[in-house]
Amino acid sequence: MTSPALVWFRQDLRLADNPALAALDGRPALLVYVLDDEAAGAWAHGGAQRWWLHHSLASLTADLAARGASLHLARGPATRIIPQLATAIGASEVIAGRLYEPWARSRDAAIAEALQAEGRKLSLHTSSLLHEPHRIRTGTGKPYSVYTPFSRALFALGEPPPPLPTPARIETLAHPGLPLEALELLPKRDWAREFPQHWQPGEAGAAARIKAFSLLNRYDATRNLPGIPGTSGLSPHLRFGEISPRQLWHAARAAGVTGDATFLKEILWREFAYHLLWHRPELPEAPLQQSFANFPWQPDAKLLRAWQRGQTGYPIVDAGMRQLWRSGWMHNRVRMITASFLVKHLLQPWQAGEAWFWDTLLDGDLASNAASWQWVAGCGADAAPYFRVFAPVLQGEKFDADGAYVRRWVPEIAGLPDKFLHKPWEAPEIILRGANIRLGVDYPRPVMDHGQGRARALAAYAEMRGAAP
């Protein structure tokens, strides 16, 4: 008689293109999800991610039930729960998609050791990336530290294999678990009430997003315009593995995307972030460029709070921060603008912005979030130069020229003409009165003058370079 297996769902909450399910090869299995906040520590799911996870698990449970299968939910240390469940069902093998976060790697090593002591094994499969980070090396055998040659190397590997089909049959074992509500993922305060207007978590939601996104071949032209639906909106689905990067890659090819198109390069930027995290596990906490350990940040709770609440007085910045709070997502171009404003104009540590994004982004992904913040701050492996300081007014006028984005998310200044929408402090008093705006009352004046903020940032950079060992 074939011994059963245990399939451990993690960052792969889907049935299609799931190597762990394919590896069952007809064996009966206990399908498990474990909420293990203790192991993740500071990087346990943020508030917005917990909302998504609740609904994603509900979707996965329903998809399995439609096939006569079930999902076992548990909460607590996976180092204890997984071996116990494997023993309880007599599983010879625990199968899962590989994770790359430092805490997850340590946990997997401990679980593998515990299973091995009982004559069982942990089998990990590539499920959430195209390629394993430890297998991608430069010609000299070293990890990549610059994105462009990394992406060229991955394109040179050729097309990824086609996605695996959804298993026609999954025979699952019955074993009592927790109800979804016992995981306590939903917020006690209903700050996420608008999320359902924007999102449908789950594998079906990911498929609907792909079908609805019709701009793949124009992505390079549309992706920087926050006022239009010019991006796919698939990042939260990718974060939770409701769609695999392999599925996304082949969907783009099927839609006519050719060569090394920008859309595919964005998939590879995510791969690069995981490459950095694998080889530089300090990525989420410490600057990769050691000289930045001496950077003279000026932590200020009041300035940080103004940024978090979208009350900086710069409309494009405030629109982004309010979009984030209300929808759990922010347009990528605006992420760069808001991040640059925080670390350069306001001289707040990039880790403070990273932590806020982690808690409020539905697509909060440890590797991508950390790598992107280090890129903006100028301290990453492949970073934008620190002296590149985005001018928020110019960014707004360039990428939101008709003001559609700002008017949606900062409605109190919607009545301003385009000429002053991105710089309301320059509007004559008669224009402000006509738009029913009292600066400093209805909408704040800038918390920091752009010229002064840029000068402070450059002075801080010069001070850091002088103090570097």
Cβ-based burial of 429 (10 A; exposed 0-12, middle 13-18, buried ≥19)? exposed
Which residues are within 8 A (CB) of 388 and not within 5 positions of it... i.e. 6 or more apart? 340, 378
Residues written for the chain = 469
Distance of alpha carbon 248 from alpha carbon 114, whole angstroms: 36
The type of residue at 214 is S
For residue 103, the one-letter residue type is: W
Residue with tokens 């992406």: 151
- Return the bridge partners of 5, or none: 29, 93
Residue 196 token pair? 């359902």
Q: Are 213 and 233 in contact (CB under 8 A)?
A: yes
Q: CA 398 to CA 222: how far, in whole Å?
A: 13
The answer to whether residues 48 and 328 touch, using CB atoms and an 8 Å cutoff, is: yes
Q: Which two tokens stand for residue 115?
A: 């299973």
Contact assessment for residue 272 and residue 151, using Cβ atoms and an 8 Å cutoff: yes
Q: In what order do the strands lie in the sheet with 5-9?
A: 72-75, 29-35, 5-9, 93-97, 121-125
Task: At 200, list the tokens.
Answer: 């449908």
Task: Report how far residue 205's alpha carbon sits from residue 214's, in angstroms, rounded to the nearest whole number.
Answer: 16
**What are the backbone angles phi and psi of residue 388, rounded to the nearest 5°?**
-80, 100
Residues forming the active site: 266, 269, 297, 332, 350, 373
